[in-house]
Chains A and B, each alone.
Chain A
Amino acid sequence: MDTRVHDVLLVGGGGAGLRAAIAVAETNPGLSVAVVSKVYPMRSHTVSAEGGAAAVVRDEDSLEAHAYDTISGGDWLCDQDAVEAFVREATREMVQLEHWGCPWSRQPDGRIATRPFGGMKIERTWYAADKTGFHMLHALFQTTLRYPPIKRYDEFFVTRLLVDDGRCQGVVALEVATGKVQALLAKAVILCSGGGGKVFPFTTNANIKTGDGMAMAYQSGAPLKDMEFVQYHPTGLPFTGILITEAARAEGGWLLNKDGYRYLQDYDLGTPSPTPVKRSMELGPRDRLSQAFVAESKAGRAIPTPYGDVVHLDVRHLGEAVIDKKIPFVRELCLKYQKLDPVKEMIPVRPVVHYMMGGVATDLDGATPVAGLFAAGEVACVSINGANRLGSNSLTELLVFGARAGRAAARFAGAQPDPSSALVAQAADEERRLHRDFLGRTDGTERVADIRSEMQQAMEAGAGIYRDEESIQVAATKVAALRQRFRRVALQDSSRTFNTELVSALELSNLLDLAEVILASAAARRESRGAHQRTDFPERDDEGFLAHTMARQGEDGRPRIEFDPVTITTWPPGERVYGR
């Protein structure tokens, strides 16, 4: 067994992972830090984020206002101490990224420009045209090249965490190019591996978003928090699911039904005005907009297409100059993938799975209940997003909590003994398991692609924008059956070299874990809140469910749900008011 030892390991090389790596290197330059990622860092899904990143910068804005928008947007399920830390450190992190070269869009005098965003009362979304995630990721990645202690394992797929004596001390990773299994030992491990949108069939998420970190943490005894909250972004292109950024609406785009009517005014989201009004109409929160779409579609006022009903996003009135300056990527994506020009035509859009509010439960420093295991970014649930994340909070989140987790892990690692040698035996077991269950088996009958596709369909039907007891149970039964079938999975590819089918099978195993947890959490929450809408329990129930679901893997491998209290510091639960 090839074994490498580092002080701090990052699993995932997206925005959170790279920010955390720099934080480790700056906190303690003597530590050896390594970023392990199944793709090259610049391929990570942060690259696809478009609209912007929120941080208080304008004179008329305040930390309280940002916190209130975030908490009300999250339907009061956010932990308020986490939100307070988040808004407090957001601006500093964003300025830091500016110093690292991120090409933020500017005002004529050279200061940072901001734009409005959904659910935000004041303009506080920094942006780099509409490729904000792309520019942030590349700025972060290129900046890591300044730090010699940061080593990378590019295209290494982590298959499990190494936990000994209750402490996470490394990972087992498959070098995809050669097929070699390695033990990467460390005094602290930070998961930064993103969410798992690929549990669903129709998603803005990249093919690589398979919830690996969430599933591995769960298998290692860490609880997954609030996993029933899956965000549907209201404006994705049909068929591809490509995201049309909220910035299109923030700059003044309208959502129209088949009659050309701005239907959001019928859903308690305010009254239409020609120019955008914050926290109103098209700038309402994503959960409410996606739910309004479903109602509109049920009433027969959407436009049918071969890929499901759509409504229209109309930006034509903004004019070519504004579109090219503020949302050029929207135009590029429409021209390339929808064969239409938004300057002249309306964009067909429908809600699409976008983000997981839930994740590995952590404290404010990214520490999970498993010693030595940290998490930051979409994989984690701190939680600042509650039942519904506001657009442009996630990019900031990965900076703030990536940095916090990095610093905390560096301090933790500095005080730990070297990893135990018992772990190498665990890693050897894992290598044998990979061979036994996948590469070396000849009796399999099931195909990865079939199981994955059936799981995705079951999840969409059972745990989509609206759910109820029955739909959840049907999906749960289906997923349990798929889990059984997965035991008989057969790979057509038995080679070691760049075996993407093996990687897909391991990813599918993680996705199945996530699907189980999402369904179990959704079944346990018998109320409607934010992105979790139960038609059999349509009201929010603060008496019973102002609490986080915590899913732990039981002895039988099935999730067990408990509830943890929500931290309320300043803002008691109230009504979510938009547009009035």
Chain B
Amino acid sequence: MSDTVTMEVLRYRPEEETEPTYESFEVPVQPEWMILDGLNHIKDQLDGSLSYRWACRMGVCGSCGMLVNGRPVLTCATYMESLLPGPIRVEPLRGFPVIRDLVGDITDFMGKLAAVKPYIVREEEKPVEEGEYLQTPEELAEYKQYSMCINCMLCYSACPIYRIEPDFIGPAAIALAQRYNLDSRDEGAQERMDVLSQHAGIWGCTLVGECSEVCPKDVDPAGAIQRYKVSATVDFFKSVLMPWRKE
């Protein structure tokens, strides 16, 4: 095993340059080290000006997603050892404008997330004094998988549609919409359908499937979108064949 590895890190300093460049650093490899530990080594010991985001270092806050050797990963959960002998190329996630170095701008996602109404919508809310809504473990299991999304943006980075059609609502936001649609406490499916049945919604997806491949939490956004398509289609035919049926 080699003692050090070369990390080729994308640098972009908008005050100084108009195009990104790659900078190489020699970084020691330890068995416990993740890519993020390598970046921290660079920042603390070699070049304090390297910029990237990180927080929890346990794969749940969703901050540290980057492109490592071309694949979107959580850098806190990717061993350096697994990529030896290197070089290891680290870039910001594809699909997002680069603010600086390894930091991408996710403002677009934040807007799309809000647009799909990712919260419980009810005609009438039960007073808190009357206690919880009952929900059996089976009903919980219906949507649990989709509630595991940490908003790490790896799925957007893996999605070619999002890059080509920036209006596409995208995997995580649709999966989260589906998370609420499938929640037995929610009554907002129709409101969300108005947003999601547009061209930039579910029908924008051509099922590349890579979003589900790169998802670190097994949310399966591609599955969520396809299920949504099926139910949208069934709804459409029901409304054509049975126009008397209540909306």
Contacts and interface: CB of A to CB of B under 8 A. Distances in A.
A–B contact via C-beta, under 8 angstroms: yes
Interface of A: 39-40, 42-45, 47-48, 92, 95-96, 98-101, 103-112, 131, 134-135, 138, 142-143, 145-146, 154, 177, 206-208, 239-240, 242-243, 332-333, 336-337, 447-449, 453, 491-493, 495-501
B32 A240 contact: yes
Contact of B185 (A47, A101, A208, A453): A101
Given A106-B140, A448-B48, A497-B14, A177 B58 contact: no
B143 interface: yes
Contacts of A134: 60, 150
Contacts of B60: 47-48, 131, 134
B83 interface: no
A95 to B, nearest CB: 5
Given A336-B77, A497-B13, A101 B58 contact: no
A40 B183 contact: no
B44 A449 contact: yes
Contact of B15 (A43, A45, A242, A495): A495
8 contacts: A47-B61, A100-B120, A101-B119, A106-B136, A106-B140, A154-B110, A497-B13, A501-B43
What are the nearest 6 A-B pairs in CB distance? Answer: A110-B134, A493-B49, A449-B44, A498-B100, A492-B48, A206-B55
B203 interface: no
B247 interface: no
B176 interface: yes
Contact of A135 (B59, B105, B118, B147): B147
A40 B110 contact: yes
Chain A CB count within 10 A is highest, among B14, B125, B128, B186, for: B128
A15 B51 CA distance: 27
Given A95-B132, A208-B55, 10 more contacts: A45-B55, A47-B60, A98-B133, A101-B180, A103-B144, A110-B139, A138-B147, A142-B113, A177-B105, A498-B99
B57 interface: yes
A181 B185 CA distance: 43
Contact of B136 (A48, A108, A142, A146): A108
Nearest to A100: B120
B75 interface: no
A155 to B, nearest CB: 9
A49 to B, nearest CB: 10
Nearest to A448: B48
Contacts of A146: 117, 119
Contact of B52 (A107, A154, A493, A500): A500
B13 A495 contact: yes
A124 B120 CA distance: 25
B55 A496 contact: no
A278 B178 CA distance: 39
A96 B132 CA distance: 8
B136 A110 contact: yes
A237 to B, nearest CB: 9
Contacts of B13: 495, 497
B44 A43 contact: no
A167 B100 CA distance: 38
Contacts of A499: 49, 51
B114 interface: yes
Interface in B135-150: 135-137, 139-140, 143-144, 147-150
A502 B133 CA distance: 47
B189 interface: no
B143 A103 contact: yes
A487 to B, nearest CB: 18
B104 to A, nearest CB: 10
A333 B57 CA distance: 11
Contacts of A242: 57-58
A498 B129 CA distance: 46
A108 B114 CA distance: 33
Contacts of B44: 447, 449, 453
Interface string B19-44: 00000000000001000000000011
A99 B119 contact: no
B45 to A, nearest CB: 7
A92 B128 contact: yes
A101 B150 contact: no
Given A40-B110, A448-B48, A498-B103, A206 B56 contact: yes
A143 B55 contact: no
Nearest to A204: B58
B10 to A, nearest CB: 14
B58 A337 contact: yes
B55 A142 contact: no
Contact of B126 (A99, A143, A206, A207): A99
Contacts of A496: 15
Contacts of B167: none
Contacts of A337: 58, 77
Contacts of B131: 95
B16 interface: yes
Contact of B54 (A95, A135, A207): A207
B221 interface: no
A145 B32 CA distance: 39
A492 B126 CA distance: 56
A301 to B, nearest CB: 25
Contacts of B114: 145
B47 interface: yes
A53 to B, nearest CB: 14
A42 B61 contact: yes
Chain A CB count within 10 A is highest, among B43, B54, B58, B148, for: B58
A99 B130 CA distance: 11
A43 B55 contact: yes
Contacts of B140: 103, 105-106
B27 to A, nearest CB: 15
Nearest to A135: B147
Chain A CB count within 10 A is highest, among B16, B49, B106, B132, for: B132
A99 B63 contact: no
Given A95-B132, A99-B125, A493 B48 contact: yes
Contacts of A501: 43, 48-49, 51
A498 to B, nearest CB: 4
A68 B45 CA distance: 49
Contacts of B136: 106, 108-110
